[in-house]
């Protein structure tokens, strides 16, 4: 339905095209037509609208007077959705559309109860105890790392030194897993140990690992927000400093944090966050299962995923990572 209502004249179809379902629609520039990143941008923007409205409680249950895209995504009576996009041949824009199956919201989703509130706060059980992070923080760190690696591998990572504006594609970029093997001797436990006592000097990596570390001058920031900020900061070295066509690591190139995240032979990592009230700061550390030394290739360039078979791996869908 979303596909049929969007393709054709490449205009934003409006809700009436999907009666009695609701839809969300946005245009994007075709010159930035990596649909994976465009989808992420659109969904994040819609979800973030909750930050700009006042939540009202009706018998203890949340209701908001605006931000319809957030309501469509968050309402508990929605059980299905579908998204699609179209690139318009005669226009510089593309169209991205999602529809949702909750017909009770039609025609106006605002000022309705979004979901029934729980009696008390629920904390999801974590799959890793050794770094003291929540499951949401684990998921955030893992998703962001693999998102950036896939962006790089598929040729859509912005690179300041590249003539094309983007870093070259990767031949055999491994998908990362979270380093929290049972038994306690794992990257998660070792990484937490580096910042557990709020050191005032920057820690050194555990032998055999590479380390990314950041101090935030805010001791009240949530662990998930701290992780997001740190991971974005480390990866931004590619866009702000640059790598170029030569992907060999140079120690004083100013992209060490990026290199640790992007090293194609790294297959595991772990992170930790510590709020340090006594120092007025929050510490964020992530360690990676491979060192990147002077003269090492950060990653091998080539056709996307063409080296996966030799690693006994398959190419991800969308392509980019060897899984």
pLDDT tens, position by position, 184-217 = 789 999 999 999 999 999 999 999 999 999 999 9
φ, ψ at 95 (rounded to 5°): -125, 135
pLDDT reported for residue 296: 96
Angle at 279 between CA 261 and CA 139, to 5 degrees: 35
pLDDT at 29: 76
CA separation for the pair 126, 213 (Å, rounded): 23
Both tokens of residue 24?
A: 């969300």
Separation of alpha carbons 145 and 142, rounded Å: 5
- Beta strand ranges found along the chain (DSSP E): 22-29, 56-58, 61-63, 81-87, 93-100, 177-178, 210-216, 268-276, 281-288
In this prediction, residues 266-290 reach a mean pLDDT of 98
pLDDT score, position 86: 81
For the beta carbon of residue 81, count every other beta carbon within 10 angstroms.
Answer: 17
Cα angle 177, 222, 289 (rounded to 5 degrees) comes to 25
How far is residue 67's CA from residue 323's CA, in Å, rounded to a whole number? 37
Answer yes or no: is pLDDT of 8 > 70: no
Contact (CB, 8 A) for 102 and 56: no
24 DSSP β-pair partners:
98
DSSP state letters, 144-156 = HHHHHHHHHHTT-
Q: Among 88-97, 146-155, 210-219, whose mean pLDDT is lowest? A: 88-97
Q: Compute the C-alpha angle 91/164/319, nearest 5°.
A: 75
Instruction: Give the pairing of strands 81-87 and 281-288.
Output: unpaired
Separation of alpha carbons 206 and 272, rounded Å: 13
Assign domain 135-311 to its CATH architecture: 3-Layer(aba) Sandwich (3.40)
Parallel, antiparallel or unpaired: strands 177-178 and 81-87: unpaired
Q: pLDDT per residue over 59-74, tens digit each?
A: 889 988 888 888 889 8
**Mean pLDDT of the residues in the chain:** 88
The mean-pLDDT minimum among 81-90, 225-234, 300-309 falls in 81-90
Q: CB atoms < 10 A from the CB of 306, how many?
A: 15
Q: Which CATH class is domain 2-105?
A: alpha beta
pLDDT recorded at residue 1: 56
Q: Tell me the pTM.
A: 0.73
The predicted-structure confidence for 164-187, as pLDDT tens digits, reads as follows 999 999 999 999 999 998 777 899
Alpha helices in 68-200 (DSSP H): 68-74, 135-153, 187-195
Considering the chain, tell me which residue range(s) the CATH 3.40.33.10 domain(s) occupy: 2-105, 135-311
Q: Minimum mean pLDDT among 28-37, 75-84, 136-145: which range?
A: 28-37
């Amino acid at each position: 339905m979303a596909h049929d209502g969007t393709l054709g004249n490449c205009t934003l179809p409006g809700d009436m095209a999907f009666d009695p379902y609701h839809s969300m629609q946005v245009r994007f520039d075709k010159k930035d037509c990596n649909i994976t990143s465009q989808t992420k941008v659109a969904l994040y923007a819609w979800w973030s609208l909750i930050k700009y409205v006042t939540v009202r409680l009706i018998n203890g249950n949340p209701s908001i007077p605006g931000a319809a895209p957030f309501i469509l995504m968050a309402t508990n009576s929605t059980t299905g959705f579908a998204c699609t996009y179209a690139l318009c041949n005669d226009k510089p824009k593309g169209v991205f559309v999602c529809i949702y199956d909750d017909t009770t919201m039609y025609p106006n989703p605002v000022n309705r109860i979004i979901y029934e509130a729980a009696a008390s706060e629920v904390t999801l059980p974590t799959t890793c105890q050794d770094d003291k992070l929540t499951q949401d923080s684990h998921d955030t760190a893992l998703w962001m790392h693999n998102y950036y690696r896939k962006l790089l591998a598929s040729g859509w990572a912005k690179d300041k030194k590249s003539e094309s504006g983007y870093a070259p594609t990767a031949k055999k970029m491994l998908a990362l897993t979270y380093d929290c093997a049972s038994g306690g001797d794992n990257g998660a436990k070792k990484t937490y140990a580096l910042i557990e006592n709020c050191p005032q000097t920057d820690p050194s990596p555990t032998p055999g690992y590479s380390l990314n570390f950041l101090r935030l001058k805010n001791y009240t920031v949530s662990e998930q927000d701290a992780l997001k900020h740190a991971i974005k900061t480390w990866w931004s070295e590619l866009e702000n400093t640059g790598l170029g066509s030569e992907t060999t690591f140079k120690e004083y190139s100013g992209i060490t944090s990026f290199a640790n995240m992007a090293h194609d032979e790294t297959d595991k990592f772990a992170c930790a966050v510590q709020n340090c009230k006594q120092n007025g700061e929050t510490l964020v550390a992530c360690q990676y299962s491979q060192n990147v030394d002077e003269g090492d290739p950060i990653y091998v360039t080539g056709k996307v995923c063409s080296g996966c078979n030799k690693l006994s791996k398959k190419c991800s869908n969308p392509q980019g990572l060897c899984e």
